[in-house]
Structure formats: structure tokens, C-alpha cells
């Protein structure tokens, strides 16, 4: 491998404990033990998606993953999960190296609890001020995930996050995510100061993914404009945007959102319970698509990068393409300077 690309990845490699500074984005029902182990065996950093699991289920999934790989991997935990502390304890007992906190802004208590197990904390930030605050709270690395990404996304694009956060926080350990697949883009992010990238959608439909063939085919047929985020019906009840291919399931989410909003306005449910109800809707809809192949009513979570994901490949092929493209890009840049 080109020494320059290796040098650019070194900080990310040290933090992740993987061969390459690429994180396999956690995808509920998709990032299970088989896929995560395959990612880690291929040299990238696999991440288990704990989704709506409790501590016992997560322990089992971690054990299964460890049986399939001796390489490093992490666990993604959604902050609004009512079993949050149980999930952290499960990771601590299993000696997981990294926890990626998603679905909100973590407080010092949960960061300190994770650190008490010797686990590194990674999370997301939608703005420069929040990014700075998170590092002050003690996080070990940040992921800038633009709204182009699949699943739960923030409101700002990757391009803006790069200019708002990455370029203003030189020297901080920051990964970039959202709409990244080509090696030229990966190399460019490293040159701009990122220590690596997170990639998801392409792995949802790789050969090692156990997702239903209907789910994979739907993603491979789709274009970037088909991956949309549903509208928020009322600002009083903010809904976390979830990017997925538009289908009947998207329409059903709007109906569910109306139902939850009405209950909230009547005082029948709290904001937290309402959001949790919507999370359970997404989890169930995603399971129908991923495990049962219901691509009409299930949730087809994917990023806009589906525009260029057109074939089912092995993880090692995907990684090799990224690295080869990155090396050629850097070689061509060097040639232009001579």
C-alpha cells in the first residue's frame, strides 16, 4: 500500500485498532454479528448496531461476533434507549473497546460511565459549538455525519460540516461520514484533516450482508433522489429525520407521526415516550424490510450514495477499490506538482 495513504490513516488506525481507518456504519438489523465480524476480518472497524436490544441480547450478539473474529469492533448505542445503562454495562463486561453513541447529545455522566470501563467514546455533532463541548466532556473521537447518510441523520450536509467543524478543529480526532464511497473522496477527507471515514449503505447490500435479497435489490435499483427524509409535521414535536427509500412505509410513518402528535397534544404521552414510539415504528419497519423482504411497507434505510451503489460485492473488494482509488488520486496529485 502507498506509504502516504498509510501515513494519513495512522491516527485513525491507532484509535480504532483496525488495519484501515474506515468505520463500518452501524445499521439496525443489518450490522449483526456475521456482517460486523466480516468487516473486522476485512481490516475495517465493524460496529454492532444495538438498536432496541436490552443488555442480555447485546451480550449474546457480542459473544457471537467474538466467535467469528479476533479483530477489533465496537458497539453503537442509541441514547434514547431506556436500557441505555444496561447496554453500557454489557459492553463493559464484554470488554468492548469502543462505544458509538447516537440519537442525541450525550451528557458527562454517560461518557464518564463508559470511560470507567476503559471504553473509548465516539459520537456525532451537528455544529461547531456542540463539537467543542463534546470534546470538553471527554469524548475520544467525533463523527461528522452529513444528512446525505442513511438512517438517522442530522440536518446539515457533509460538505457544510467539513467546513464548519473539521476545518476549524485541526488536530482533533474526527471521522467524516455521509455520501462517501469513492477512494478519491476518502483521500481528500484525510488530506483535509479527518482521521478516517465512516461508510454504511454499500455494506448493507454487500455479499456478506444477511439482509433479504429484496432489500438489497431495492437499494441497488434506487437512485439518490429516491432516498428521502420524511417531513416533520409540527415543530412542537421534533422528529429525528430518517433517510430511507420512499415507499408505502414512508406514508405509514407520516400517519403514525400524526397519531403520536395528537396523543402528545392531548397530554396522553410525553415527548420522550412519543419519540420512543416512533423509534419502535422505524425498528419494526426496518426489520420487515431487512429480514422479511417487505420492500413495500418496510423501511428501506439508505443514504443518497445508493446513486452509485449498483452491484453486490464482497467487503474486501469494496475496501480494495477505495484504497486503490485513494492511492491513484494521491499519485496523480503528486505528479501534477512535479
Three-state secondary structure readout of the chain: CCHHHHHHHHHHHHHHCCCCCEEECCCCCCCCHHHHHHHHHCCCEEEEECCCCCHHHHHHHHHHHHHHCCCCEEEEEECCCCCHHHHHHHHHHCCCCEEEEECCCCCHHHHHHHHHCCCEEEEECCCHHHHHHHHHHCCCEEEEECCCCCEECCCCCHHHHHHHCHHHCCCCCEEEECCCCCHHHHHHHHHCCCCEEEECHHHHCCCCCCCCHHHHHHHHHCCHHHEECCCCCCCCCCCCCEEEECCHHHHHHHHHHHHHHHHHHCCCCCHHHHHHHHHHHHHHHHHHHHHHCCCCCCCEECCHHHHHCCCCCCHHHHHHHHHHHHHHHHHHHHHHHC
Backbone angles phi, psi at 245, to 5 degrees: -65, 135
Average the pLDDT over 296-303 and give the result.
Answer: 95
Sole residue written with cell 458527562: 108
**Best CA proximity match to 172, nearest among 146, 136, 198, 200:** 136
Domain ranges of the chain: 3-210, 213-304
CATH of 3-210, one of 3.40.50.720, 3.20.20.70, 2.70.98.10, 2.40.30.110: 3.20.20.70
pTM of the model: 0.94
Res 234: pLDDT: 77
Residue 338 banded pLDDT, cuts 50, 70, 90: low
User: Regarding predicted confidence, which is higher, 3 or 146?
Assistant: 146
Residue 1 banded pLDDT, cuts 50, 70, 90: low
Res 230: pLDDT: 80
Average the pLDDT over 254-276 and give the result.
Answer: 86
Q: Mean pLDDT in the chain?
A: 94
Res 337: pLDDT: 67
Whether residue 182 has pLDDT greater than 80 = yes
Whether residue 262 has pLDDT greater than 80 = yes
Residue 37 banded pLDDT, cuts 50, 70, 90: very high
Amino acid at each position: 500500500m502507498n506509504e502516504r495513504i498509510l501515513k494519513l490513516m495512522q491516527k485513525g488506525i491507532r484509535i480504532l485498532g483496525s488495519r484501515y481507518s474506515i468505520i463500518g456504519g452501524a445499521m439496525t438489523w443489518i450490522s449483526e454479528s456475521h456482517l460486523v465480524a466480516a468487516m473486522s476480518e476485512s481490516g475495517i472497524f465493524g460496529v454492532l448496531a444495538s438498536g432496541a436490544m436490552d443488555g442480555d441480547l447485546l451480550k449474546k450478539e457480542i459473544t457471537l461476533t467474538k466467535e467469528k473474529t479476533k479483530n477489533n469492533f465496537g458497539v453503537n448505542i442509541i441514547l434514547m434507549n431506556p436500557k441505555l445503562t444496561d447496554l453500557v454495562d454489557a459492553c463493559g463486561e464484554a470488554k468492548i473497546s469502543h462505544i458509538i453513541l447516537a440519537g442525541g447529545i450525550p451528557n458527562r455522566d454517560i461518557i464518564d460511565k463508559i470511560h470507567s470501563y476503559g471504553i473509548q467514546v465516539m459520537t456525532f455533532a451537528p455544529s461547531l459549538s456542540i463539537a467543542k463541548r463534546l470534546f470538553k466532556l471527554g469524548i475520544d473521537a467525533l463523527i461528522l455525519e452529513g444528512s446525505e447518510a442513511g438512517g438517522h441523520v442530522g440536518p446539515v450536509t457533509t460538505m457544510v460540516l467539513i467546513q464548519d467543524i473539521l476545518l476549524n478543529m485541526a488536530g482533533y480526532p474526527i471521522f467524516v461520514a455521509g455520501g462517501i464511497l469513492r477512494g478519491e473522496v476518502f483521500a481528500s477527507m484525510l488530506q483535509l484533516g479527518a482521521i478516517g471515514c465512516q461508510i454504511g449503505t454499500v455494506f448493507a447490500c454487500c455479499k456478506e450482508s444477511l439482509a433479504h435479497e429484496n432489500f438489497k435489490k431495492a437499494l441497488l435499483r434506487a437512485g439518490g433522489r429516491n432516498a428521502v427524509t420524511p417531513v416533520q409535521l409540527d415543530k412542537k414535536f421534533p422528529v429525528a429525520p430518517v433517510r430511507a427509500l420512499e415507499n408505502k412505509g414512508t406514508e405509514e410513518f407520516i400517519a403514525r407521526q400524526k397519531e403520536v402528535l395528537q396523543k402528545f397534544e392531548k397530554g396522553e404521552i410525553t415527548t420522550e415516550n412519543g419519540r420512543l414510539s416512533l423509534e419502535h415504528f422505524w425498528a419494526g419497519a426496518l426489520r420487515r424490510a431487512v429480514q422479511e423482504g417487505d420492500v413495500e411497507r418496510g423501511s428501506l434505510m439508505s443514504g443518497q450514495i445508493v446513486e452509485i451503489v449498483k452491484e453486490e460485492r464482497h467487503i474486501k473488494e469494496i475496501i480494495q477499490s477505495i484504497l486503490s482509488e485513494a492511492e491513484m488520486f494521491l499519485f496523480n496529485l503528486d505528479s501534477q506538482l512535479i
